[in-house]
Amino acid sequence: MKWNQFPALRVLIFYLLFYFLFSYVNWTGSVIGVLALLFLWFLKIIQVKVCFLLIGFQLLIMGRLSIDESVKLPDNHYLVERVLKDNEKKISLIASNENFKYLFSIKKKNYNSSFFLKGDVVWGDVKAKSIKNPKDLNGFIYKDYLNELKVDSVIYSMSTPLLVFRDLKSIHFAAARLKRFFISKYKGINEVSQKTRGVLIALIFGDKSFLDFAYKTLFKDAGVVHVLAISGLHVGILYVSLAFIFGKLLRFKKWSRFIFVSGTLTFYAFLTGLSPSVSRATLMFVLIYFGKSINSKPNSLNIVFTTGLMMLFYEPEVLYDIGFQLSYSAVIGILIVSQYSFLNVQHKNQYIEGVFGLIKVNFAAFIFTAPIIVFYFHTINFTSLWASFIIVPIITVVMYLGVFSIGVFWISGLFLFTIKCLDALLVFSTFVLKFIVNYIFLREFAVMDLTFLFVSLSLVIILFFRQWRMLVIPCAIMLGGFFVKDSKKLIFLNKKDVVQLKFDEKVIALELDECFVLDGLIRVCKIKNDEVLFHRLTGNVELTIEGTELFEEENDSVFVNFNIDNYKTLILEF
């Protein structure tokens, strides 16, 4: 694998460089970029045509980033940005006006009474409420979730807002209508349990609104909750399996294979309502298979980098979307492991080769998404690696039978037989997951330093380049980490009798006059019912408390009052 094999990757790197220059230092950064290119040309490091080509590329990026896409709306009008949940009981969506972003929680009478799409404009004479503080730090914290979505306030409505505008000619509207038609039909299947219907809807249509909470918790405890969220992994599994079926088993001709594989993937994308993650992955795999149809040895990775560049140019802010990062890293990992790494071996038995292909897909998705998961969440669940080897094949069969059930939807006997087979598979997967959680569960590890990030990046580099000398890249990242301030996030909730402290996914309760020492950095003490003392044990620790000013500071001690706001976040930098 050589650098010159990936021209799209080089263009993508330049795009990211110019993007960050313009985003963080605005026009000054762009001028610096132009001067740097001219300086490199002056030193004859790059040719004059390359220099001016990159300058033109930079000006193009600057023009794209300068476009103001904000929409000014009248009072009480809101632009729908994202639909979080839509079932027979309520709709949860995020909408914004010129100044703020709101979470709408709207009561419904039935599933088909109303629905909203991204890009809709709605009107409602409603009052926003502040986001409530949590009552306990154990488990899921709803306020932090909304803060991550950058939601400012919550609007609870018993009546449905008035739809003012919708693009009825949009392809997304057509996909949403198709998705809702089949979901309403699957909801009416009485031959299986409500829990099974919820899982089928999640796996076939990518809508988790009907998932049973206990079932979702079971998947989460086993470390395989990601299989319930349709993403690049599912499309990758579908692509690998379809290519194997139409290519190896049925032995279709080249262009017939492309029509059937790309057609099935596109239809599946429509079934999910053209969700962003599925649309991105579908576009990538269709282009990859198109490249294979016109060239026996296409550069699949170069196609992926090209689609990534196209999407970033169309919607630059998607770069910060964790779903986008995970989806692309999973697809890139699947291609590297299956085509470029030392695991690219073919077995003589085509059935063993099919199973081995699914194992490689799962392994690649785990390894290449691990650095991102560790970076954002500071945890890694090793149970998911091997539990997925068992669950992913079952889910793959469920996906195929689910798509097949849509094809035979109007043949009632065959359709019900398929649904009952799906029910049996899901019952079996539930039994397997319960066995894993109860008897062979590996706990989730908290990773708060650079160690696992270094290890996972090293594996990625080795699989990508197959050269040990390329380990200098993660080593340089590891070394640079020592010169960058590390940080810890601590969450405090002041209750009547105790103060709860949460860090590294652990919750500690401090009663009056009790203290706790955190990693030799600070001592935390509850000295009054509404006051907490933070005492620095080392001089290079900086304290930042979000949403409040320091109550009082004396030498190495900080006193914080919880009288006004009983929920605070403390950032330690050291």
Give me the pLDDT at residue 550, please.
47
- Cα 487 to Cα 478: distance, rounded to the nearest angstrom: 16
Give me the pLDDT at residue 348, please.
64
Give me the pLDDT at residue 455, please.
61
Give CA separation, 544 vs 407, 491, 521, in Å: 57, 12, 14
172-209 tens-digit pLDDT: 888 888 888 888 888 888 888 888 888 888 888 888 88
pTM across the whole model: 0.75
Q: Which residues contact 245 (CB under 8 A, 6 or more apart)?
A: none
In 179-303, the DSSP E strands lie at none
Q: Which residues contact 517 (CB under 8 A, 6 or more apart)?
A: 523, 524, 537
Between CA 327 and CA 333, with CA 328 as vertex, the angle to 5 degrees is: 105
Chain centroid to Cα 448, Å, comes to 20
Neighbours of 466 (CB within 10 A): 13
- Strand, helix or coil for residue 506: strand
Give me the pLDDT at residue 448, please.
46
Give me the pLDDT at residue 218, please.
79
Give me the pLDDT at residue 459, please.
61
Task: Choose among 202, 205, 261: nearest CA to 227.
Answer: 202
Task: Choose among 164, 260, 273, 254: nearest CA to 209.
Answer: 273
Q: Which residues of the chain have pLDDT under 50?
A: 446-448, 550
120-171 tens-digit pLDDT: 899 988 888 888 888 888 877 888 888 888 888 898 888 888 888 888 888 8
The DSSP bridge pattern shows strands 101-107 and 153-157 to be parallel
